[in-house]
Structure 1
Amino acid sequence: MTLPPTIRWRKSSYSNGMGGECVEVALLLGDIAVRDSKAVPGPWITVGTGAWESFVGAVRVESPARSATN
């Protein structure tokens, strides 16, 4: 699958400019593209929006950093 050149990638809120890069995501038609923010021209994966929502929901619930601040 070739991604359109106009795709807009969004970095994880946990990414920073001091080596703490994580992932970037982009909304596609019916899917989410995910790539390593340190390997921009590198490979990516796509997942369905339902699977992505489940993943993000689970990460939010299980995140030690998030539970430490709540």
Structure 2
Amino acid sequence: MTKKPPKGEWFKSSRSAQANECVEVFLGDDLVGVRDTKDRGQGPELWVTAQQWDAFLAGLTS
């Protein structure tokens, strides 16, 4: 996806503490972004619809 939501806050799990070996997530109104913590601002970002993200999370718990 090329469309991105307005600037917001990226966050990572509180369980990752200060480690930089995890992913960060951006929750927008219609889109959700995922990126590698080590490559903030430089690396690739994956953007999916909120509906796709919900389906992904449901698949993790089933």
Summarize deviations over 1:35-58 as a string: whole Å, max 9, x none.
Answer: 011111222110010110111122
Q: For 2:19 and 2:30, locate their aligned partners in 1 and report how far apart those are by CA, in whole Å.
A: 33
Instruction: Supply the distance in 1 between the matched residues of 2:55 and 2:4 (Cα, whole angstroms).
Output: 24
Equivalence for 1:67:
none
Aligned to 1:8: 9
Runs of 4+ off more than 4 Å: 1-5
2:51 and 2:4 map into 1 onto residues whose CA distance is 20
SS at match of 2:16: coil
Letter in 2 for 1:49: A
Contiguous gaps of at least 5 residues in structure 1: 63-70
Equivalenced residue count is 60
Q: Whose radius of gyration is greater, 1 or 2?
A: 1
Unaligned runs of 5+ in 2: none
CA distance in 2, matches of 1:5, 1:30: 10
Q: How far has the Cα of 1:13 moved from its partner?
A: 4.1
- Structure 2 partner of 1:47: 48
Give the Cα–Cα distance (whole angstroms) in 1 for the partners of residues 3 and 15 of structure 2: 27
Using the aligned pairs only, state the percent identity.
37
Question: TM-score of the superposition, structure 1-length normalised?
Answer: 0.63
Q: State TM-score, norm by structure 2.
A: 0.69
Structure showing greater relative contact order (alpha-carbon pairs closer than 8 Å, 6 or more residues apart): 2
